[in-house]
Amino acid sequence: MKMVLAVMFGAAVAASSAAAGELEDVNARLELLERQNAAIRKENAALRESQRLLGENTRLKSQGARAAVEPARIGARSHQENSAFPAVSAISQQTRNPLQAYAADFPVKAPPLAGPALFRAWIEGGAIFSGGDPISSFYGLTGQFDLTPKVGWESAIGFDYRFAGSPWHVSGQFRYGEGGKTNGLDSATETIAFGGASSTATSTYGAAYKETHWLADLAVGRDIAGSGPSVLQLKGGVRIAEFVTRSSNSNVAVLTLSGLAPIVVPGFPTVTGYSGTISNLYDTRASFLGAGPLIGVEGSVPFAGKWSFDYAGDVALLLGRQQSVSSARSQSSVTPSYLSGVFPVTDTLNAGSDRLFAGVLSADIQVGVSYWLTQNLKLGAGYRLDAFINVFNEAGLSRYNLTPDRYTHGPRVTLTGQFDAM
């Protein structure tokens, strides 16, 4: 009996020891799960913080000067948290700066506002067509020449310098263009017979016209919208411009008489016919030279990899001088020349000038597309329109053969280079 009790007691003790071991194992498993849950909670918190930092970076990229300080502070905080949580580090590093991911797809990485100074220079050329109010020259009783300029050319050069760590720029440009010279020529002949004589009158009319212009801008600009390659710059400065026209008109009349009664001049052969010529030549140079305040915008929008859409526009109010200088020359001659004692020969020259003060509106717009050949060089093609409103006042001599509004427009090819500057 004692032996049976001893065996039962030993079994009970063994069962109790086994139950205690299983309880300790369960407790150990529960403690491990708690630690794993705590680690998961920390990783979730780190992920939420990373998403918050991403949103904050996206907001900060559109803020001008603050972008030089805030991304560094946020980047330092993100680095500390990534060190504490290696599982989130890779995600946080990829999303730390959205501008880097954007610029990586663009051939020219636009430096942030905190970057170095950027110098950009360009050269441009193309054809121009002239328009506006019609240019005409009248002759005779009903004749009229259309002197609208033919196809001409224009070239330009310019620069833009953005200060280091700043949204401010300084820029300038110079442009010169010429319209194609236009000519007109016409003549009329009339013959009259009377008795045994006859007279022939020939009138020849001619006209020519040409336009030239130049302008120079100097401006200070500031980035006001967008970032990187899509930034929009607002500019303000001063423009100096000159618009010049040169016109000439001629009227040459020749009268020939033949079959006349003999004309005797002592010491010279007898003549039965002669001719007389009367010519009138008119030349006019009209110009406007002025300067005034300028405001404008320019920008570029990248698309399709290395391509970008470029745009620019300016408007200026120019105050200056409208001036016209004209001359008129009248000549007469006779053939044979020894008849000049009978028919006097004349040669007179008259000149005059007129000057007015005026205000002229100068405006331009240009759009086009460009392709980045390298990281620092792009080639573009576009179209440009320039307008001078009231460039010649209709009061006074400055309106001679001219009209108030002139336009030039045509295709352009532009080569641009940009470089980091010290």
Specify the pLDDT at position 181.
93
Highest mean pLDDT (candidates 21-25, 94-98, 178-182): 178-182
Q: Write the pLDDT tens digit of every residue in 210-254.
A: 999 999 999 999 999 887 778 999 999 999 999 999 999 999 999
pLDDT bin (cut points 50, 70, 90) of residue 127 is very high
Check if the beta carbon of residue 48 is closer than 8 Å to that of residue 78. no
- DSSP string across 386-418: EEEET-S-SSSGGGTT--S-EEEEEEEEEEEEE
Specify the pLDDT at position 402.
52
How much is the mean pLDDT over the chain?
80
* Number of C-beta neighbours around residue 290 at 10 A: 23
Check if the beta carbon of residue 323 is closer than 8 Å to that of residue 286. yes
Share of the chain above pLDDT 70, in %: 78
Q: Among 4-13, 47-56, 157-166, 176-185, which stretch is predicted with the lowest mean pLDDT?
A: 4-13
Specify the pLDDT at position 5.
41
Which residues are paired to 126 by β-bridges? 154
Question: Which domains are seen in the chain, by residue range?
Answer: 2-103 (no CATH), 115-421 (2.40.128)
Mean pLDDT computed over 156-164: 96
Angle between helices 86-95 and 70-84 (to 10 degrees): 160
**Distance (Å, whole) CA 412 – CA 364:** 13
Q: In the block, which residue shows the tokens 């460009």? A: 370
Specify the pLDDT at position 177.
97
Highest mean pLDDT (candidates 84-93, 135-144, 253-262, 299-308): 299-308
In this model, does residue 108 exceed pLDDT 90?
A: no
pLDDT bin (cut points 50, 70, 90) of residue 421 is confident
- Within 61-85, where are the H helices? 70-84
Specify the pLDDT at position 8.
47
- DSSP β-ladder status, 143-146 and 150-162: unpaired
Q: Cα-flanking dihedrals φ and ψ of residue 336, to 5°?
A: -70, 155
Q: Among 20-29, 69-78, 91-100, which stretch is predicted with the lowest mean pLDDT?
A: 91-100
pLDDT bin (cut points 50, 70, 90) of residue 159 is very high
Specify the pLDDT at position 63.
60
pLDDT bin (cut points 50, 70, 90) of residue 125 is very high
Q: Write the pLDDT tens digit of every residue in 319-370.
A: 999 888 999 999 988 887 777 777 778 889 999 988 888 899 999 999 999 9
Q: How far apart are the first and last CA of the chain?
A: 105
**Distance (Å, whole) CA 53 – CA 69:** 15
In this model, does residue 107 exceed pLDDT 80?
A: no
Mean pLDDT computed over 186-215: 89
When comparing pLDDT for 29 and 403, which is higher? 29
Q: In the block, which residue shows the tokens 């319209």? A: 179
Specify the pLDDT at position 422.
67
Residues 49-82: b if buried by 16+ CB within 10 A, e if exposed = bbeebbeebeebbeeeeebeebbeebeeebeebb
pLDDT bin (cut points 50, 70, 90) of residue 258 is confident
**Distance (Å, whole) CA 138 – CA 126:** 32
pLDDT bin (cut points 50, 70, 90) of residue 42 is confident
Check if the beta carbon of residue 392 is closer than 8 Å to that of residue 404. yes
**Distance (Å, whole) CA 417 – CA 375:** 9
Q: Write the pLDDT tens digit of every residue in 139-150.
A: 888 889 998 899
